[in-house]
Every structure is written in C-alpha cells, then in structure tokens.
Structure 1
Amino acid sequence: MPGTAARAGTAPAETRQRMRDGTELLLRTWLPDPQRYPEPLGTVLLVHGLAEHSGRYPHVAALLCGLGLRVRAHDLRGHGASGGPRMVVPHADIYVEDLAEIHDAAVRQWNELPIVLGHSMGGLVAARLATARVRPIRALILSSPALALRISGGMMTMHRLLLALAPRLRVPNPIDARLLSHDPEVARAYRTDPLVQSTISAGVLETFLRGMPQAQADAPRLEAPTLLLVGGADRIVDPAGSRAFHDGAPEDLCEMAWFDAGYHEIFNEAEPLRGEVLAALSGWLRRHLGTAGGPQAQAKP
C-alpha cells in the first residue's frame, strides 16, 4: 500500500496497491527536497502511455518536485512491473477505474485534491476521469493525449473481428519507436527496455475507441484548469484530437501549447524542444496553481 516516498534526484520509492479485483499495481513516488519544501505544495498523479511504464518519467518527476510537488505514478495493469495479464483488460473502462482507486488512496494519504498528468493513452485515461467527473481533481495536464487516432478501414475490420472472436489475443504493437522523438537515443532505449510491451490486444484498443469519443463529448463538462501539450508532427496519435478537445472545453479553463515540430513523446524530444516543452509545463504550473508558494487545494471530507 502507499506509504514511503523518495525525494527528487533519488530513485523513487516503490510500493504496491491492490485494486478491487485483487490486481496489484506498482507505484513510484517522489518527494521534493524537504529543505526547500518542508510541506509539498501539491500532488501530481502521473499516468503513462500504452505499452510503456512509469519508470520512464524520472526527469518529469524531477521537474515537478523542483516546483515543490510530490509525484506518484503507477504502472498500468498489464504493463511494466504491475500485475495482470500483459496487455489484456477485463473491460474498456478498467484503466479509468484503476486511476480512481489510485486517486482515492492519494487523497486519503495527503488530504488534498491531486493534479493529474497523463501522456498518450494515459492522457485519454486522465481526460476521462476529469470530463466524466469520476473524481474531482485540482488540475489536468495532457501530454500528446490519445484523443484521436488514424485507423484505416482495414484495421477497423480486423479489430472488430478480433474483438468478437479473440479480444485477449495479443498481436504486435504497431508503435514505431522512430516516431517517438527526434532523439535517436529515445528510440534505442524504448526498443531495448525489457518493461516496454511489444504487443496489444483488441480489448486494449477498444479502450481507445470507446474512450476517445466519450472524452470529446464530455469536454464541455470539464471543471478543472487544463493544459494540453501537443506535438504537431505526432504520427502515433492524431493531434487534431487535442484541437477538438481544446475547442470543446470551457474556454476559460483550457489552454494548449502547440509545438509544430514535436513528435509524440514531447517530454523526451531532442533539445532544444524538450526544454521548451518542460518550460511550458513548469510555467503553466507556476501561473495557474501557485506552486511557488500559493495555496493548496484541500480535499473535501
């Protein structure tokens, strides 16, 4: 269960949290420097993308901890070091339900509403949590969110066939690591990472196909300040989905930072773009959430 945490610049504390169905998820937790921040200024729940794991985000956690925020990330079920069959889900809403349980445990532990930051599929999961009002949150940050995909008619036909006949059958993951970042080292590290999954199932793809239109339809219901960080050259997800979500959300709540040349993993882009993206993230947090010393949002009892 959640408990200890690691400071920024150190290896994260690793704990496990049991979901209602018995599946145990790995949690990684970082804390800001207690000399600078005796009390953290807030909590970020970080949700990673399809096939990867939360251990790929130490530089993002370090930036957030440098702003005085504690960070908790989990490996999605069937991913990384979490339990559950690899890349198989019991139903299309399970990732949102798991995030709600992670949220509840964090609120109990720290008595404050969290900021939720999701990348790619994690962005879709985070957007669903917020727009469907599954749980109240302090703010929402979406990095290259999977709010639209480019899927051919042939791929859709194959998906429907597999979903009907073999929803748990794992097939090769179509993600091309060369399209993640302009930095070739990112592609190399992704391909050689033993915790990155190389397959996908029709059941997992269905979480996208059901979740994306619902998140878009619910965008007007957004209640928390929201930042989208979007790579205009993304070929893993369709960045047009981020534009549609931004346009559908309340104008006074939703802001978008668009990086024309950015590929999918904008937190892992080649410099100087990576630095520009991280600066946009930290600048938005400072302006909107008072992480340089402003008030925290306390959870309602």
Structure 2
Amino acid sequence: MEELYVWRGIACLVLADAVRRFTKFCFEHSNPKQESMRFAALADQEGNGGRAEETHRVLGDPKWTASFFVNKQNLRIFRRRWAPQDKAIASVVLVHGYTEHSGRYEGVAESLRARGFLVVALDHQGHGRSEGTRAYVERFDHYVDDVVTLARECPKPLFVVGHSMGGLIALLAAYRLRKELAGVVSLAPPVIPLPPPSLPLVTISKFMSRVLPKARLPATLPSDSVTGDAQNVHALLNDPLVYQGPYKARWADEIFCAMASAKCQLRTSFPVPLCLHHGTRDTAVPVESSKTWYADLADDCVDRSFHLHDGLFHELLFEPNGRGDAIFNAILDWLKRRV
C-alpha cells in the first residue's frame, strides 16, 4: 500500500512538471509590456531605439526621424519617416512582414527618399520596437488599422508597398483607402493558403486560438528559406529585433481569416492600381497563391500587373546578384508613372 502511494506521488510530480513545462512553452514571453521593454533595450543596444523622438543625420541632412503613436489597443507603435529635402512628389507607406521590422527596409526607404518620395513605415504591434506580445495579434484587422492610420497622415498622391504578411496587410489597407490611394505594390503576399489546410487542422487552430490564444505552435518560419542571399540570412538570424520563435495560435488563426477576407472581399471590388510580384522558388508563400488570387481578382481592378521572378525566393528586394535591385527599379518606375 505504501508503495502504491509512493508511485502515485511520483506520478503527480511528473504530471505537475509536465503541466509546468507546457504552460511555460505556451506562454513564455506573453507579457506585452515586459516584451516591449526587452526589445526597446535591445534597440538601445543597437544605438538608435527606445526614445520617443530622434533624428538621424547624414552630412547635416535629416535621414529619418522616429516617433511613437498610440493605437486603438493602447499600444505604442514605433514609426519612421524619411522626408526628401524638397517637396515630396508622392508618399509611400512601407509595410514589413511577419517577424521583422521597419528597420530592415531602411535602404529601400532611403533610395525612395533620394528620388523625391516621402516614406513612412511602422513596426507592427508585437514587432520591432512597438509594444505588444511578440508576433501576436488579437485581430488581424488591428495591423490594418495601424497602417491606415499612418497612411492618412501622409500627403497625396499616396502609395502602399508591402512584403509578405505586409503585402496582405497592404492589400486590405488599400481596399479601405481605395478612394485615397494612387496604387498598391504587394510582394509575395499570403493571399490564399496553399496547400489548403485540412478540416482537423482548421478546427484545432480555431480551438487553440480561443482557448490558448498565445500558445506557441510547433512550427516556425525558417530564416534560411526566405532568401538566396547568405548575407541576408545571417542578418536575419542576428538581428535582435527579428522574432525567431514559433507561431502563436491566435496569430495563425487570424492570418487564415485575413486570407479569406482578401479572397472574398477583393474578388468583389478592388478599384486600385495594383502591382504584384512573386518569386517562383518562394517556399514561405508558394507562388501559386498569388497566381490563383490574381486570376480571380475583381474586374474593376483595371490597372493591374503580375510579375513572376524566375528562380527567386521570398524576400525579393534582398535577392543577390542585382536581381533585388532590378525589382526595386521596376517598382520605382511603376510608382513614378502613377504620380
């Protein structure tokens, strides 16, 4: 009898430890304020983050300014602004993708600024220097809300340019801004889930999203699969502001819902000039996603173009051997023709 009690005690200890480990796995780094402070500290180590207002200067010229705004979820959202010396010919809102931050597009923004564009970008909530649980969002529309808020501060003509998840956000924001926008550029957007998720997977995803929304799923986006440039992979893996962890349950469910919105909503009406780019070797977001979505786009999207890039991976603007630069130049030409 005593031996039975001993074994029961051991079983209880093992179960308690398993519950503790599972809880830690699911909810590690789930406090948005603590996480934001941690990433702000990392930004300060980088030498240019964490302060409410600051200006970076190159040869006496304001290269970019940074500030925060408070969004509808009462989170402080970090934003950057690159202003040309003379009056801007147009405004461009840059929208970054999942796990990353606006700082990764500083080269793109500076190139646009040098050509007369006013460029603005934010770190999505839960990303970069912005507040919020890392790589987590209660509603995907919250991302879109913040981009629309930022865009409406900008003088016209106005463009939105987004990559990956940012490309999906850009499309949904463009629909809301359709009467105010001169055009949208979307690079490798996840507009249709391919291969389609099975019914059990969808059911489990929705259950986890409601019951354990911040649970960390046993899946992640490997940085070495998004680009063919070894230097870019190294930069991604060593950037303290890039999230390296697994997907969160609510985020996964919300992006599936956002894809459904993009498929249904934009098939009905999308009267916005559209420039879509995708690489044929993209393993993060299969190119068939863009092909299928583009073929089914609303008829009122008359000014539209789809550019396939043979042999290129997910991060098109960072591809080596001048191919990323060629894509940037094509986008620049597209923007200029619509100013």
What does the per-residue CA deviation read over 1:117-168, in whole Å, with 9 as the maximum and x for residues that have no partner? 1110011111112235577322101011121233554754552342232111
What secondary structure, in the 3-state scheme, does the structure 2 residue paired with 1:71 have? strand
Flag the structure with higher helix content.
2
CA distance in 2, matches of 1:279, 1:237: 23
Comparing both chains, which one has the higher relative contact order based on Cα–Cα distances under 8 Å and sequence gaps of 6 or more?
Answer: 1
Report the alpha carbon displacement of residue 4 of structure 1 after superposing the two structures with TM. Answer: 8.0
- Give the structure 2 partner of residue 226 of structure 1: 274
CA distance in 1, matches of 2:93, 2:176: 17
Letter paired with 2:78: L
Corresponding residue to 2:263 among 216, 226, 241: 216
Change (3 A) 1:238 1:94: same
Q: What pairs with 1:152-191 in structure 2 (closer than 5 Å)?
A: 153=198, 156=202, 158-171=204-217, 174-191=220-237
Which 4+ runs in 1 deviate beyond 6 A?
2-10
Structure 2 residue 84 is the aligned partner of structure 1 residue 84: no
Report the alpha carbon displacement of residue 88 of structure 1 after superposing the two structures with TM. Answer: 2.1
Q: Taking every aligned residue pair, what percent have the same amino acid on both sides? A: 26
CA distance in 2, matches of 1:262, 1:143: 12
- Give the structure 1 partner of residue 303 of structure 2: 253
Report the alpha carbon displacement of residue 201 of structure 1 after superposing the two structures with TM. Answer: 0.8
Judge which range, 166-175 or 20-29, deviates more.
166-175
What secondary structure, in the 3-state scheme, does the structure 2 residue paired with 1:57 have? helix
Corresponding residue to 1:121 among 165, 173, 178: 165
Structure 2 residue 321 is the aligned partner of structure 1 residue 271: yes
Q: What pairs with 1:133-148 in structure 2 (closer than 5 Å)?
A: 136-148=180-192
Letter paired with 2:148: A
What secondary structure, in the 3-state scheme, does the structure 2 residue paired with 1:170 have? coil
Report the alpha carbon displacement of residue 218 of structure 1 after superposing the two structures with TM. Answer: 2.4
> 1:5, 1:29 within 8 Å by CA — same for their partners in 2?
no
Corresponding residue to 1:18 among 56, 62, 70: 70
- Give the structure 1 partner of residue 142 of structure 2: 94
> 2:271, 2:301 within 8 Å by CA — same for their partners in 1?
no
Change (3 A) 1:78 1:173: farther
- Give the structure 1 partner of residue 331 of structure 2: 281
- Give the structure 2 partner of residue 240 of structure 1: 288
What secondary structure, in the 3-state scheme, does the structure 2 residue paired with 1:263 have? coil
Corresponding residue to 1:207 among 242, 254, 262: 254
> 2:178, 2:270 within 8 Å by CA — same for their partners in 1?
no
Q: What pairs with 1:31-70 in structure 2 (closer than 5 Å)?
A: 31-32=83-84, 34=85, 38-70=86-118
> 1:225, 1:253 within 8 Å by CA — same for their partners in 2?
yes
CA distance in 2, matches of 1:205, 1:46: 23
CA distance in 2, matches of 1:121, 1:63: 22
Change (3 A) 1:212 1:198: same
Q: TM-score when scaled to structure 2?
A: 0.76
User: What stretches of structure 2 of length at least 5 have no aligned partner?
Assistant: 1-51
Letter paired with 1:79: H
Report the alpha carbon displacement of residue 22 of structure 1 after superposing the two structures with TM. Answer: 1.4
What secondary structure, in the 3-state scheme, does the structure 1 residue paired with 2:79 have? strand
Judge which range, 255-264 or 272-281, deviates more.
272-281
Report the alpha carbon displacement of residue 241 of structure 1 after superposing the two structures with TM. Answer: 2.1
Across the aligned residues of Structure 1 and Structure 2, the Cα RMSD in angstroms comes to 2.5
Letter paired with 1:217: C
- Give the structure 2 partner of residue 297 of structure 1: none
Letter paired with 1:99: V
CA distance in 2, matches of 1:11, 1:170: 38
Judge which range, 247-256 or 94-103, deviates more.
247-256
Report the alpha carbon displacement of residue 93 of structure 1 after superposing the two structures with TM. Answer: 1.7
How many residues are matched? 281
> 2:274, 2:301 within 8 Å by CA — same for their partners in 1?
no
CA distance in 2, matches of 1:197, 1:171: 14
Judge which range, 83-92 or 163-172, deviates more.
163-172
Letter paired with 2:167: G
What does the per-residue CA deviation read over 1:40-66, in whole Å, with 9 as the maximum and x for residues that have no partner? 111111110001000000121122113
Change (3 A) 1:85 1:276: same
Q: TM-score when scaled to structure 1?
A: 0.84
